[in-house]
Structure 1
Amino acid sequence: MSSADGRAVSDADANRAVSLTLRVGELLLANGEGTENVTAAMLAIGRTYGLRRIEADVNLSALTLSLVRDDGRLPVTAERRVRRREPDFARLIALHELVDEVTGQRPSLAEAQRRLRELTGRAGVYPGWVVVTALALVSTSAAVLVGGGVVVALAAFLATALGDRAGAWLARRGVAEFFQLAVAAAVGTAAAVFMIWRQMPVQASAVVVGAVIALLPGRPLVACVQDGIAGEYVTATARLSEVVFIVAAVISGIGTMLTFAVKAGVSVTVNDAPAAPLSLAVPQLLGALGLGLTFAVALRVPPRHVPPAAFGSVAIWIVYVCLCWLKLPTVLATTAAAAVIGLLGSAYAHRVRVPPMVFVIPAIGPLLPGSELFRGMLKLSLGDVLGGSHYLIEALSIALGIGAGVILGIDLLRAMRRRDVTRRIRQAARRTRGY
């Protein structure tokens, strides 16, 4: 076994290379990268340091690297668990830069390990309070998008901030994330129920929609569809389960609070459920812009990349509204708008040499099905099982359409360019024809 420059690789160096490869793969996966890209990065690093016969197996919570030597020495198999997954797109960009540096400049193992330690020890791009505030402003922007006024926007901000802090308090005491999300959704619903009970002359339910959109799993959803389309079915199934549990937690919080409200005699009706107007008026454009901006900050996108992500959110809303004006079905319009932003985001990402998801994930915020989820749970709480199920299925269809559209847009750009825009991650697509 020899390195890229022809020198033999010692057992110690091989083990260090395996450790470096697994650590980079773990950080990529933990910070929101798709399975296909993580696998490609691991294989590229391993081969750079002379690990010629390696296989990488990437799952949602574990990575395995197997090294089979052709010189008679014992094979090596190592595994690393991903215990914490929290998207940090600034760190994701830095990791991709490190992978490019390793594969392009081929620094020594010691130097690569030093660079990785520096990267992981680096302070976050934003202070913690900025990220928490951005998450609350996501809810505020969504409330504006669906037609809420100043009072509703302020209520959405306070309810989301309170729900997030309640979730953090539960997390410090070891309570499962499912219940953290349920409590956060319940807090937003309680704020809306209180405003309806007090008969305040505002679109109170927009508070719930804003709080729900701040909790919906846009990044896991896109990664799930990406892995499924790439043929990583095990990981795609695991990611889908994650999405289902997150949505179930949000639904549980909304449903529990609405059920209590109905039982207490609060006159919550389907007419209270808002939907974003299909309009390009200033409030809707500002709401879409705010969603992209605040989602980008909440996902820790570096400041220089925040404006393109924010304007991508406006673009996806404009395309979606125009397609709806052409009488396209909601799911089809959502998928097509997501494909457009996937194409544009991928082109821009290729130009500035960062992962496409840095721009695409914040931009899909205006299309997330917060209103449909609230309408579904409201109808179920009022005893309309058929109507509630209809809205929940519509919400799921919209969510899957967003994921499929984003990946379609990225792959369209890949097909149109002579050189693979994703650094030749996928040499050729597999053809099974369904069997």
Structure 2
Amino acid sequence: MDEEHDEAGGRAETEPDAATDADADEGADEGEGDEAAWPGESDPATTTGENPLAAMEAALRGGREPGVGTDAYATLDLALRIGELLLAGGDTAESVDRAMGRIARAYGLPHTEIDVTLAAVGMSYLPRGDRPPVTAERRVRRRTPNYTRLVAVDQMVRDATAGKLGLQQAKFRLSDIIGRPTAYPHWTQATALSVLGGAGGILVGGGLYAALAAFVATLLGDRTGAWLGRRGIADFFQMALGAAIGTLVTVLLVATDAPVRSGSVIIGVVIALIPGRALVVSMQDGIAGDLVTGTTRLVEVLFVITAILSGIGAVTYVAARNGVPISLENLPSAPTTVAAPQTFGAAAIAVAFAVYHLVSRTLLPPIALGGMLAWAVLIEMRGLDLPAAPATAIAATVVGLLGTAYARLARVPALVCVTPCIAPLMPGTLMYRGMLELTTGRTGHAALVLVEALATALAIGAGVYIGGELLRLVRPARRVLRPPRRVRT
């Protein structure tokens, strides 16, 4: 199953309920101290794994000082596998750390040190009694999203923390989660990404033909990138080629005087290619204080954006040198009032994004409503003459607040509900305009537009995080189950 986890286990992404987990951590900290202990190998209750807290209590009553037994190693292995699974899917370092700590405490390891980076997770336990420490690490080999698995892992951690799962039961359940088939057929992801590109064309004012052209361009770029990926080509060149193919379709439409708003085609492709999930998580890591992981993720996002801009710029430059009349005058732009086609396009983008990340079908209707809400708030803010970055930040904050609230009611990680809803806010138009400005020689103005596009992208991640934090201000603390204390005599 380890081999299966290395290949399939990297397809999960989670965002546990931040406030719930914070309360659990707070409660566990109160229960930790010099008096806390954990049951060892000789404890029959722990070996059977039926009630870890009762087993801990029995060990304390017996006055035993347990050593590092097989259950300790099994607990470390379980926590590391969960951490690898969450990190492989792109979860925040804070959430991965929290989930691993909760699992360790649930199965009798209250004093652990956890290290989470973008490429690996590590855990150390220092037992009492001058015994040597136990340290282990797992590398993250693949990072691909699977939000259905994310929800399942989150629920497993909740059940383990509540004492509903023994250690062996938790191990079997995790293996079952890893081995489950995906929520949709394999071909669905490529189709969903292409639908996202087509809906992006509608979002910026393109018609049906523009949406169809964007669908085809996105599909060609995605399949070409997948073909390159199977041959070991780096992701940077895959993304650059995907953007170049979308731009090439746009150039061909312009060159043939097709009755299509050609600019909306490439903008739809760009919206499909921008890594919205990684962008949100990078900002959350940075704001939460995990600066190393957050900075690494952000640099990764910037490389992807650079690849997209490189693909657009290269094709646009060659087309302009060969006399294709690419102009800035007829670029599509978002409407200043809420219009039905664009609103439904925003809903389609959110749903397509969710399907691409394998979100459960039951969550698709609220995600569609969230996408429409995000777009409506953005248009209203732009109607008040706010610049793109602050208007986008406000829309993302609203989505973060309401999406996190709904996620808590549905008892699913907030990232599952929030991230698809912010997909319509991606600054595709600004990125394309900036590259056209650069191609036509207006370097100074192009730099300003590209900086605005980057600021808008960062505002999305910051707004989502702020929305979740605002909800925590009004949410009362919950009582949590604490490890038993040693009774002093």
Q: Normalising by structure 2, report the TM-score.
A: 0.84
* TM-aligned CA deviation for residue 315 of structure 1: 0.3
- Tell me, what secondary structure is at the counterpart of 2:372? helix
Instruction: Quote the Cα distance in structure 1 between the aligned partners of 2:105 and 2:152.
Output: 21
**Residue 73 (1) aligns with residue 109 (2):** no
Corresponding residue of 2:166? 108
In 2: Cα distance, 1:385 partner to 1:223 partner: 31
| SS of match in other structure, 1:202 | coil
Bigger-Rg structure (1/2): 2
In structure 2, do the counterparts of structure 1 residues 292 and 106 end up closer, same or farther at CA, with 3 Å as the change threshold? same
1:381 to 420, 428, 439: 439
Kept in 2: contact 1:251–1:373 (CA 8 A): yes
TM-superposed deviation, 1:21: 0.3
Residues 188-203 of structure 1 mapped to structure 2, 5 A cutoff: 188-203=246-261
1:400 maps onto 2:436 in alignment: no
Distance, in Å, in 2 between the alignment partners of 1:70 and 1:273 is: 68
The RMSD of aligned alpha carbons is 1.5
Structure 1 residue 325, shift from structure 2 partner: 1.6
1:433 alignment counterpart: none
Partner of 1:415: 473
Partner of 2:280: 222
What's the counterpart of residue 254 of structure 1?
Answer: 312
2:95 corresponding residue in structure 1: 37
Match of 1:123 among 159, 181, 196: 181
Structure-2 residue corresponding to 1:2: 38
Deviation at 1:410, TM superposition (A): 0.4
Q: Which has the higher contact order (CA 8 A, sep 6+)?
A: 2
**Equivalent residue number for residue 245 of structure 1:** 303
Inter-CA distance 66–153: structure 2 relative to 1 (3 Å threshold)? same
Contact 1:210 1:370 (C-alpha < 8 Å) held by counterparts? yes
Q: 2:228 & 2:207 partners in 1: Cα distance?
A: 31
Distance 1:258 1:391 in 2: 17
Partner Cα separation in structure 2 for residue 387 and residue 409 of structure 1:
33
State the 1:328 CA deviation: 2.2
Counting only pairs closer than 5 Å after superposition, residues 289-328 of structure 1 correspond to structure 2 as 289-328=347-386
The alpha-carbon deviation at position 153 of structure 1 amounts to: 0.6
CA-CA distance at 1:273 after TM superposition: 2.7
Describe the SS at the equivalent of 1:364.
helix
1:63, distance to aligned residue in structure 2 (A): 0.7
1:358 aligns with 2:394: no
**How far did residue 351 of structure 1 move?**
0.3
Q: What is the CA-CA distance between 1:289 and the residue it aligns to? A: 1.1
C-alpha distance in 2 between matches for 1:291 and 1:197:
28
Shift of 1:52: 2.1
- Aligned partner of 2:123: which letter? L
> Partners in 1 of 2:353 and 2:67 — Cα distance?
45
Aligned length: 423
Gaps of 5+ in 1: 425-435
- Distance in 2 between the 1:359 and 1:271 partners? 38
Q: Is the 8 A contact 1:312 1:363 kept in 2?
A: yes
Distance (Å, rounded) in 2 between the aligned partners of 1:188 and 1:226: 31
Matched residue of 2:385: which SS? Answer: coil
Amino acid at match of 2:333: A
Query: CA shift at 1:420, angstroms?
Result: 6.9
How far, CA to CA, are the matches of 2:326 and 2:165 in structure 1?
64
Following TM superposition, by how much is the alpha carbon of 1:111 offset from its aligned partner in structure 2, in angstroms?
Answer: 1.4
Note if 1:336 corresponds to 2:372: no
State the Cα distance separating 1:219 from its structure 2 match.
0.7
Assess if the C-alpha contact under 8 Å between 2:68 and 2:127 holds in 1.
Answer: no
Give the alignment's TM-score, normalised by structure 1: 0.95
Change (3 A) 1:420 1:274: farther
The one of 34, 50, 55 equivalent to 2:113 is 55
| Residue 122 of structure 2 is aligned to residue 64 of structure 1 | yes
Gaps of 5+ in 2: 1-36, 40-52, 60-65, 482-489
Equivalent of 1:133 in 179, 191, 203: 191
In the alignment, is residue 275 of structure 1 matched against residue 333 of structure 2? Answer: yes
Contact residue 141 and residue 153 of structure 1 kept, 8 A: yes
Query: Once the 2 structures are TM-superposed, how far is the Cα of residue 10 of structure 1 from its aligned partner?
Result: 4.4
* Matched residue, 2:12: none
Note the C-alpha offset of 1:9: 6.2
Which residue of 1 is the match for residue 43 of structure 2? none
Secondary structure in 2 matching 1:77? strand
Q: 1:167 to 1:420 in 2, by over 3 A?
A: farther
Q: Deviation string for 1:133-176 (max 9, x for gaps)?
A: 01000001110011111111111001100100000000000000
Deviates more, 1:289-298 or 1:163-172: 289-298
Matched residue SS, 2:141: coil
Structure 2 counterpart of 1:2, which letter?
W
1:285 partner SS: helix
CA distance in structure 2 between the partners assigned to 1:59 and 1:130 by the alignment: 31
**Which of these residues, 26, 47, 57, is aligned with residue 84 of structure 2?**
26
Question: How far did residue 239 of structure 1 move?
Answer: 0.6
* Alpha-carbon distance, 1:33 to partner: 1.7
